[in-house]
Chain A
Amino acid sequence: MSDRKDIALRRAESLQKRHAAETRFRWYGRAAISFGMLCIVFLFTDIFSKGAGAFQQTYIDMEIHFDPEVLGLTPQSTPAEIEQASFGSFFKKALRQQYPDLTSRKEKRQLYGLVTSDMPLTLRNQVMAEPSLIGTTKSIRMIADDDIDVYYKYSYGRDNEDGTSVGRATELQQSIVAELAQQGRIGTRFNNTFFTAADSREPELAGIKGAIVGSMLTLMITLIISFPIAVATAIYLEEFAPKNKLTDFIEVNINNLAAVPSVIFGLLGLAIFINFFGLPRSVPLVGGLVLSLMTLPTIIISSRAAIKAVPPSIRDAALGMGASKVQTVLHHVLPLALPGMLTGTIIGMAQALGETAPLLMIGMVAFIVDVPASVGDSATVLPVQIFLWSDSPERGFVEKTSAAIMVLLTFLIFMNSFAVWLRKRLERRW
């Protein structure tokens, strides 16, 4: 045996090593967290700096004289006559009147390109609503074309060293913008279009409402189908099913399903729902069915965990009083497991909301300009809309892409916070 002094010395030495190891470990943890936070900050800064612009829209004010002769209309014209009138050529003429110096065909085209190509239609609608406009002159606020929009928002009034500008605004258009700005006839306002319109080929007219509604319809179907099936499965497997080879096999398969790449579910949906059952393509109904296949294992697994977490003493108490198995489950186990089940469901829904790949397989990637009204209408969803826009060559879609990501993230953060709140709210101690 070594003497006391020696032991004390060894102990001090080992203590020092232990302290060092603990400090080191703490720093590893801090480094890992900082790295994660840095990535998130970088991601958010990037998305926000790119996407913030999409919430602003450039407008141009133009004096338009609703010339009865050019339109061939009078204030007494019927809607049918207004429908027939050629607002396209009228609008071009009205613009030309403002800039009589622009004579060449090329210059004229650039002039027409200042505002969105949708303008003649908007004017027609205004006249339709208010026929008394005919014969008067009115200042009309117009949505600027996407090239002008990005030029005005990102290049106008800033010194670019190499003289280049964002977007495809020509020198002529740039000089007109400068002139308009001097007169105070160009500016930005909140971009209503982005939240009220569906997709469009023109970035200035493209909005996210179609995708949001499509996502909601799809998620609704997913929830309606997956929640009851998953909860019934979880309760049966956990409380009623005998523990044997068959249930083991089912359990392994459920766990495996949770790990299957989502694109496979898309192929499955394509084969079964579209090819076999003949359901239409690109509709939220099929999208929801496919996503519920994908979400089922997630909800089942979390529901089973929630049921397992209910203390057995509660079951014993109920059974010991002569409650039947079903009564025990419905009266005692389910209320206690419900918060966990709901949390799992919301997290599964959030996953489904962000899913793209399986929906590409069933055709929800189509270009759709209408806001879907039912689960049987062609639709697209938020992540697919992001994918579509990120793929578009127009400069105007860059900010739209980031803005759509912001909207998607907002929904996800909202859903996850709701899950946390719900768990806190329903949790009961025993």
Chain B
Amino acid sequence: MTERFQTVGNPLLEDPKMRVRNASVFYADKQAIFDVDLDIGKNQVISMIGPSGCGKSTFLRCLNRMNDTIDICRVEGQLELDGQDINDRKIDVVELRARVGMVFQKPNPFPKSIYENVAYGARIHGLTDNKVQLDDLVEQCLQRCGLWKEVKDRLHEPATGLSGGQQQRLCIARAIAVNPEVILMDEPCSALDPIATATVEELIHELSQNFTICIVTHSMQQAARVSERTAYFHLGKLIEVNDTSKVFTNPEHQLTEEYITGRIG
């Protein structure tokens, strides 16, 4: 084994929402993440940046056990949500994923109506008692995502008929309908045009008042715009974590500096 890499900056926080210690991820025999220590603060936006293949998406998927769906993938280390170990085989992933929601890179609404997309999570988790409450919840979530005005007359039309940006906002509405504590976003804007991107970024900013958000992005401008802290990954190692302004103006590690000035990536 190579000597353990020491992350520079401030990876640790006091009273974090999620605490990650010594996390390593293996695809069969190949190690994709090396001993990551990271704390994720309550109601904060943290962005993960880094060149392609550096493991930032893999790391994100550890946080709600989505890596379970990949047979050959193995996660080691200690991952905690409010002090509770989530990497424990015995934990109920259904409950975990209700608390830690996810928005994917490509908008993936269910091929059902707009209403059904948002209502689905509430239905399976039994969050509402009757149709009126469910209608209220759907309206509320769509409104928070700024989608209500655009879709209120076509709630029962297929969600796949929406534009890319609208679909992605619908996916976010669907995620918050379950009322999670943490929302993971895996490059949520990479399939969107700049205008739709701006809308989603605004939305992230608003949501950060009530939710803890981890966002993986390829765009450093986006990271700078939406997040309070930034983590830089390189070849499976967490190189540097710090306040966003610090990372982009005064990076401590040479690799970080090379990346943000455009020499890597």
Contacts and interface: CB of A to CB of B under 8 A. Distances in A.
Interface of A: 242-243, 311, 313-324, 327, 331-332, 336, 428-430
Interface residues of B, number: 27
Contacts of B158: 428
A320 B105 CA distance: 13
A248 to B, nearest CB: 13
Contact of A321 (B71, B160, B175): B175
8 contacts: A313-B106, A315-B69, A317-B104, A317-B108, A317-B109, A321-B178, A331-B120, A336-B111
Given A315-B69, A316-B69, A317-B171, A324 B94 contact: yes
B103 to A, nearest CB: 8
B66 interface: yes
B66 A320 contact: yes
Contacts of A317: 104, 108-110, 171, 174
B95 interface: yes
A322 B106 contact: no
Contact of B110 (A314, A322, A429): A314
Contact of B71 (A243, A313, A331): A243
Given A317-B104, A317-B108, A322 B178 contact: yes
B246 interface: no
B125 interface: yes
A322 B98 contact: yes
A317 B108 CA distance: 7
B102 interface: yes
A321 B111 contact: no
B124 A322 contact: yes
Interface in B85-115: 94-98, 101-102, 104, 106, 108-111
A430 B111 contact: yes
A327 B124 contact: yes
A94 B96 CA distance: 93
Interface of B: 64, 66, 69, 71, 94-98, 101-102, 104, 106, 108-111, 120-121, 124-125, 158, 160, 171, 174-175, 178
Given A317-B104, A321-B120, 15 more contacts: A313-B106, A316-B104, A317-B108, A317-B109, A317-B110, A317-B171, A318-B120, A319-B66, A320-B64, A320-B66, A320-B97, A321-B102, A322-B97, A322-B98, A332-B110
B69 A319 contact: yes
A347 B70 CA distance: 34
Given A243-B71, A315-B69, A323 B124 contact: yes
B164 to A, nearest CB: 14
Given A327-B124, A430-B160, A321 B108 contact: no
Contact of B121 (A243, A315, A321, A428): A321
Contacts of A316: 66, 69, 102, 104, 108
B104 A321 contact: no
Max chain B C-beta neighbours (<10 A), residue from A311, A323, A332: A323
A204 B104 CA distance: 71
Nearest to A429: B160
Max chain A C-beta neighbours (<10 A), residue from B106, B110, B121, B158: B110
A320 B104 contact: yes
A266 B185 CA distance: 57
Contacts of B178: 321-322
A142 B69 CA distance: 74
B110 A319 contact: no
Contacts of A331: 120, 124
